[in-house]
Chains A and B, each alone.
Chain A
Amino acid sequence: MSTKEDILKRIRANIGERFSDGQSGKTGYDMPDLSDIKAICYDNPLQQFADMSEKVGGKVIEAKVGEDLNALIKKLYPDAHEIASNLPEISIATRNPDTVESAQALNGTDVGVVRGMFGVAENGCIWIPQTMKEKAVCFISENLVILLPKNQIVNNMHEAYKRIEFNDYGYGTFISGPSKTADIAQVLVMGAQAARSVTVVLLPEN
């Protein structure tokens, strides 16, 4: 018998022995109803999202209608030399995560620019599905800029998990602020292994 069959058989035997109810013929506990969770909602989800983003160490700025994002990013990170993005509107990009020869070639990126699908007000998370060949750009860049339409904010993770979608890359992540650690003497330090700063650029509604 394979290990898989062996394990499943043992689980079934133990569940059957411990949790079958002879009268109802049911085995084990029922799945609880999750539709009645009274999850937190906000009067102004966008404001809450911005507040949370800053609380977790991120920065939030709003782009004006028609504003040139390239100039905006340049102003935010004036010393940046290497900018990585596969977004067509980011013309200042010096590297493209779709065409680099390896993920390693993205090391030394000063600013990575990616698109977020929606933000979560309760904790500042932004859903970023992989839309580039090398997802390393989201983590290896010293600074990460996330472009987010400002009308795409949900209240909480229950709403968020109803919305997330995957494409053929089969990867996606929620990011909330910069990489951080408190592993040395419980002192909070921004910039552990991934992006040392995160700026969320809120895009105007179309």
Chain B
Amino acid sequence: MTQHSKAAKKFLENQDYAKWHDNTFWAVRSKRDTMAMGLDEWEQLREKASAIKQHTITHLDEYLEQFSNNAEKNGAMVHWAKDAQEFNEIVYSILKEYGVKKMVKSKSMLTEECEMNPYLEAHGIEVVETDLGERIIQLKGQKPSHIVMPAIHLNHDDVGELFEEKGISDEKGNHDPTYLTYKARLSLRNEFLTADAGMTGANFGIAETGDIVVCTNEGNADMSTSCPKLHIAAIGLEKVIPNYDCLAVFQRMLCRAGTGQPTTTYTSHFRKARPTASQMHIVLVDNGRSEWIGNPEHWESLKCIRCGSCMNTCPVYRRSGGYSYSYFIPGPIGINLGMLRNPNKHSGNVSACTLCLSCQSLCPVKIDLGDQIYKWRQQLDEFGTANKEKELMCKGMSFVYGHESIYNAVTNMAHMANWLPPFIMNSSLNPWATGHEMMKFPKKPFHTLFKEIDKK
């Protein structure tokens, strides 16, 4: 059993919750379909979005330089980080320079990737997540289980009890989501007002104008940058796009694809600090991306805009949950990004795919997610993580399929396996019997049946 299937088994122990999880994401997927079908140009937008990203990634050096020059012209200071370590050090040095003790931040998968929060906390900085879902899992000491809906693995009772324990809510037993959201609002409002710095991620960086563009529904990125005296924006290299005409394409797709809304509530453009704040800092982070561009089979993973639609539609994600994957981004895109990051560590995830290709049939930037997973599977031998029993059986099969006479003899006799007691066919000696019943072999193989039709 792979690491993923073991973890998925645990997820499925609570059948009621597993069912709810599956239905919830299918509902999000259906909302996405309604949005996509509401625009005649949807497929055209996908084509354009993919082509813009292919162009941008294969000219990324030019766009990065343009972005950085324009951002500096606007008055921001641009930093470059080669890896997670350097990123964390840069952020800490900026915070230290401004004497920051507390920093509020909006959601950023990049800071998860770099494990920034624990680094800053170890250096004495208080970090407060302000996206409600992120705040919940921060208080719970957990990691996100979905990139857009990070606390989806918790129900309202879990959150209610957590808020009681942390003193955020005072009405014991009131686990109504509206009440809990209001109490979180009051608590976070206080954090916004007293923080010394605010950090945002970036959905897009615009090369032509030097804007950082952040999309949220809660308004927490704007709250994080409206009160504190310092704004730091963290942005992965691949988030830079050429201009506003390109942005229009992505802005229209991001939310429709991800959550099935026509837009996020806020689409905010930051060019520089507000007049009563210190200089704005932008940190551009590589952390592997500049190498991945050179990967002939997998570079298109860099097109991702992190909408989450591939996980919402994935039959395996919906039935196994975010925590079943070893990489911090789950689902089809997470499988691929995890393999680019560290194949030895994350190859257990490549089995979490039925190759149904639902993900790539709706990815707004047309990443060939399922095909890439298939390609990774062909390389498992190199990483020494192929399943030994299946490998042996595959060798046996390729021998059988390679010799016609043996193949015919074996398929003619296959039905005899039906008479073997189930404890042999379903035993642990047969790796394909894990998780499903073995098939019944037909009495007459297909070849024989086909020849009979021919005779008629």
Report A's interface with B, CB cutoff 8 A. Answer: 2-4, 6-8, 10-15, 17-19, 27-32, 34, 37-40, 52, 55-56, 102-104, 107, 122-125, 130, 133-136, 138-140, 156-158, 160-162, 164, 166, 169-187, 189, 191-195
Contacts and interface: CB of A to CB of B under 8 A. Distances in A.
Given A15-B293, A107-B189, A161-B245, A136 B226 contact: yes
Given A156-B252, A176-B266, A184-B180, 11 more contacts: A7-B290, A13-B294, A14-B291, A29-B58, A56-B265, A161-B244, A183-B151, A184-B151, A192-B185, A193-B218, A194-B218
Nearest to A120: B263
A162 B247 CA distance: 11
Contacts of A29: 51, 54-55, 58
Interface residues of B, number: 90
A173 B222 contact: yes
A194 B266 contact: yes
B12 interface: no
B327 interface: no
Given A10-B291, A34-B249, A123 B262 contact: yes
25 contacts: A2-B80, A8-B64, A13-B294, A14-B290, A18-B296, A28-B59, A29-B55, A31-B52, A32-B55, A55-B262, A103-B274, A122-B262, A136-B226, A140-B226, A158-B248, A171-B268, A171-B274, A176-B264, A180-B218, A181-B217, A184-B156, A187-B156, A191-B181, A192-B132, A193-B220
A186 B24 contact: yes
A192 B275 CA distance: 26
A144 B212 CA distance: 24
B270 interface: yes
B44 A38 contact: yes
B213 to A, nearest CB: 10
A166 to B, nearest CB: 6
B385 interface: no
B266 A173 contact: yes
A40 B132 CA distance: 33
B293 to A, nearest CB: 5
Contact of A193 (B75, B130, B244, B291): B130
Contact of A139 (B217, B222, B271, B296): B222
Contacts of A2: 80
A18 B291 CA distance: 11
Contacts of A3: 80-82, 86
